[in-house]
Structure 1
Amino acid sequence: MSDADIDDDFDDEFADDDDAKMVEEAETSVRTRLSSLEKRRLIDNLLEEKRLARELKDELDDIDDFDEDGDDDWDDDI
Protein backbone atom coordinates (compact mmCIF):
# COMPACT_ATOMS: atom_id res chain seq x y z
CA MET A 1 0.00 0.00 0.00
CA SER A 2 1.42 3.36 -0.90
CA ASP A 3 1.51 6.43 1.31
CA ALA A 4 -1.12 8.12 -0.85
CA ASP A 5 -3.57 5.28 -0.19
CA ILE A 6 -3.02 5.54 3.55
CA ASP A 7 -3.54 9.31 3.46
CA ASP A 8 -6.77 8.91 1.47
CA ASP A 9 -8.10 6.35 3.93
CA PHE A 10 -7.25 8.66 6.82
CA ASP A 11 -9.04 11.62 5.20
CA ASP A 12 -12.18 9.58 4.61
CA GLU A 13 -12.26 8.68 8.30
CA PHE A 14 -12.43 12.34 9.26
CA ALA A 15 -15.17 12.96 6.71
CA ASP A 16 -17.14 10.09 8.20
CA ASP A 17 -16.64 11.56 11.68
CA ASP A 18 -18.01 14.89 10.48
CA ASP A 19 -20.99 13.16 8.91
CA ALA A 20 -21.54 11.13 12.06
CA LYS A 21 -21.46 14.31 14.16
CA MET A 22 -23.97 16.00 11.85
CA VAL A 23 -26.28 12.97 12.02
CA GLU A 24 -25.98 12.82 15.80
CA GLU A 25 -26.73 16.55 16.10
CA ALA A 26 -29.75 16.18 13.83
CA GLU A 27 -31.04 13.21 15.84
CA THR A 28 -30.58 15.12 19.08
CA SER A 29 -32.41 18.09 17.61
CA VAL A 30 -35.30 15.88 16.49
CA ARG A 31 -35.49 14.17 19.90
CA THR A 32 -35.51 17.56 21.63
CA ARG A 33 -38.22 18.85 19.32
CA LEU A 34 -40.35 15.74 19.79
CA SER A 35 -39.89 15.97 23.54
CA SER A 36 -40.97 19.61 23.46
CA LEU A 37 -44.00 18.77 21.32
CA GLU A 38 -44.97 15.95 23.67
CA LYS A 39 -44.68 18.26 26.68
CA ARG A 40 -46.78 20.89 24.92
CA ARG A 41 -49.42 18.27 24.06
CA LEU A 42 -49.57 17.14 27.69
CA ILE A 43 -49.91 20.75 28.89
CA ASP A 44 -52.67 21.41 26.34
CA ASN A 45 -54.53 18.28 27.49
CA LEU A 46 -54.21 19.32 31.14
CA LEU A 47 -55.52 22.81 30.38
CA GLU A 48 -58.45 21.34 28.43
CA GLU A 49 -59.30 19.02 31.34
CA LYS A 50 -59.20 21.95 33.78
CA ARG A 51 -61.45 24.00 31.48
CA LEU A 52 -63.96 21.16 31.21
CA ALA A 53 -63.90 20.60 34.99
CA ARG A 54 -64.54 24.32 35.56
CA GLU A 55 -67.40 24.24 33.05
CA LEU A 56 -68.95 21.22 34.75
CA LYS A 57 -68.59 22.83 38.19
CA ASP A 58 -70.27 26.01 36.92
CA GLU A 59 -73.15 23.97 35.49
CA LEU A 60 -73.56 22.06 38.76
CA ASP A 61 -73.50 25.35 40.69
CA ASP A 62 -76.26 26.66 38.38
CA ILE A 63 -78.34 23.55 39.10
CA ASP A 64 -77.82 24.02 42.87
CA ASP A 65 -78.83 27.68 42.58
CA PHE A 66 -81.91 26.65 40.62
CA ASP A 67 -82.97 24.19 43.36
CA GLU A 68 -82.28 26.68 46.16
CA ASP A 69 -84.57 29.22 44.54
CA GLY A 70 -87.48 26.86 45.02
CA ASP A 71 -87.93 26.45 41.29
CA ASP A 72 -88.01 22.68 41.47
CA ASP A 73 -91.69 22.40 40.48
CA TRP A 74 -90.71 20.08 37.65
CA ASP A 75 -89.95 17.40 40.29
CA ASP A 76 -93.63 17.43 41.36
CA ASP A 77 -94.80 16.19 37.95
CA ILE A 78 -93.10 12.84 38.36
Structure 2
Amino acid sequence: MSDTDIDDDFDGEFADDDDAKMVEEAETSVRTRLSSLEKRRLIDNLLEEKRLAKALKDELDDLGDDDDDDFDDDWDDDDL
Protein backbone atom coordinates (compact mmCIF):
# COMPACT_ATOMS: atom_id res chain seq x y z
CA MET A 1 0.00 0.00 0.00
CA SER A 2 1.42 3.32 -0.93
CA ASP A 3 1.13 6.59 0.95
CA THR A 4 -1.33 7.98 -1.56
CA ASP A 5 -3.75 5.10 -0.92
CA ILE A 6 -3.72 5.88 2.79
CA ASP A 7 -4.28 9.57 2.14
CA ASP A 8 -7.21 8.79 -0.16
CA ASP A 9 -8.84 6.66 2.50
CA PHE A 10 -8.63 9.43 5.08
CA ASP A 11 -9.86 12.07 2.66
CA GLY A 12 -13.01 10.04 2.07
CA GLU A 13 -13.71 9.74 5.77
CA PHE A 14 -13.24 13.44 6.35
CA ALA A 15 -15.54 14.22 3.44
CA ASP A 16 -18.20 11.98 4.99
CA ASP A 17 -17.73 13.75 8.32
CA ASP A 18 -18.09 17.12 6.59
CA ASP A 19 -21.24 15.93 4.83
CA ALA A 20 -22.64 14.58 8.08
CA LYS A 21 -21.82 17.86 9.81
CA MET A 22 -23.51 19.86 7.02
CA VAL A 23 -26.61 17.65 7.21
CA GLU A 24 -26.73 18.00 11.00
CA GLU A 25 -26.37 21.79 10.74
CA ALA A 26 -29.12 21.92 8.13
CA GLU A 27 -31.43 19.79 10.28
CA THR A 28 -30.72 21.98 13.30
CA SER A 29 -31.38 25.09 11.24
CA VAL A 30 -34.68 23.68 9.97
CA ARG A 31 -35.75 22.65 13.48
CA THR A 32 -34.86 26.10 14.82
CA ARG A 33 -36.71 27.80 11.99
CA LEU A 34 -39.77 25.61 12.46
CA SER A 35 -39.68 26.24 16.19
CA SER A 36 -39.48 29.98 15.56
CA LEU A 37 -42.34 29.83 13.07
CA GLU A 38 -44.44 27.80 15.50
CA LYS A 39 -43.77 30.31 18.28
CA ARG A 40 -44.67 33.18 15.97
CA ARG A 41 -47.88 31.41 14.93
CA LEU A 42 -48.83 30.88 18.58
CA ILE A 43 -48.13 34.54 19.38
CA ASP A 44 -50.17 35.67 16.38
CA ASN A 45 -53.07 33.44 17.47
CA LEU A 46 -52.90 34.78 21.02
CA LEU A 47 -52.90 38.38 19.81
CA GLU A 48 -55.84 37.67 17.50
CA GLU A 49 -57.78 36.06 20.37
CA LYS A 50 -57.07 39.08 22.58
CA ARG A 51 -58.16 41.45 19.81
CA LEU A 52 -61.38 39.52 19.26
CA ALA A 53 -62.06 39.35 23.01
CA LYS A 54 -61.59 43.12 23.31
CA ALA A 55 -63.84 43.77 20.31
CA LEU A 56 -66.52 41.48 21.77
CA LYS A 57 -66.24 43.13 25.18
CA ASP A 58 -66.50 46.59 23.63
CA GLU A 59 -69.52 45.50 21.60
CA LEU A 60 -71.20 43.99 24.65
CA ASP A 61 -70.47 47.16 26.63
CA ASP A 62 -72.05 49.23 23.87
CA LEU A 63 -75.09 46.97 23.79
CA GLY A 64 -75.30 47.01 27.56
CA ASP A 65 -75.28 50.80 27.62
CA ASP A 66 -78.08 50.96 25.03
CA ASP A 67 -80.15 48.34 26.82
CA ASP A 68 -79.77 50.10 30.17
CA ASP A 69 -81.04 53.33 28.68
CA ASP A 70 -84.04 51.59 27.13
CA PHE A 71 -84.74 49.72 30.33
CA ASP A 72 -84.60 52.90 32.40
CA ASP A 73 -86.87 54.72 29.96
CA ASP A 74 -89.50 51.98 30.17
CA TRP A 75 -89.69 52.20 33.95
CA ASP A 76 -89.53 55.98 34.17
CA ASP A 77 -93.05 56.34 32.79
CA ASP A 78 -95.32 57.88 35.42
CA ASP A 79 -98.39 56.60 33.58
CA LEU A 80 -98.20 53.22 35.27
Normalising by the residue count of structure 2, what TM-score does the alignment of the two structures yield? 0.81
Quote how far apart the aligned CAs of 1:67 are: 1.1
What is the CA-CA distance between 1:6 and the residue it aligns to? 2.8
In structure 2, the residue matched to 1:62 is 62
Instruction: List 4+ stretches of structure 1 deviating above 6 A.
Output: none
After TM superposition, the structure 1 = structure 2 runs for residues 40-51 of structure 1, keeping only pairs within 5 Å, are: 40-51=40-51
Q: Deviations over 1:5-51 (max 9, x none)?
A: 33211110011101111111111011100000000000000000000
Unaligned runs of 5+ in 2: 75-80
| CA distance in 2 between partners of 1:52 and 1:17 (Å) | 52
**3-state secondary structure, aligned to 1:70:** helix
Q: 2 CA distance for matches of 1:24 and 1:70? A: 68
Provide Cα deviations, 1:38-65, integer angstroms capped at 9, x if missing partner: 0000000000000000011011101110
Pairing of 1:1-78 with structure 2 (within 5 A): 2-3=1-2, 4-70=4-70
Structure having greater relative contact order (Cα 8 Å, sep ≥ 6): 1
Structure 1: unaligned runs, 5 residues or longer: 74-78
Query: How many residues end up aligned between the 2 structures?
Result: 72
Q: Aligned Cα RMSD in Å?
A: 1.7
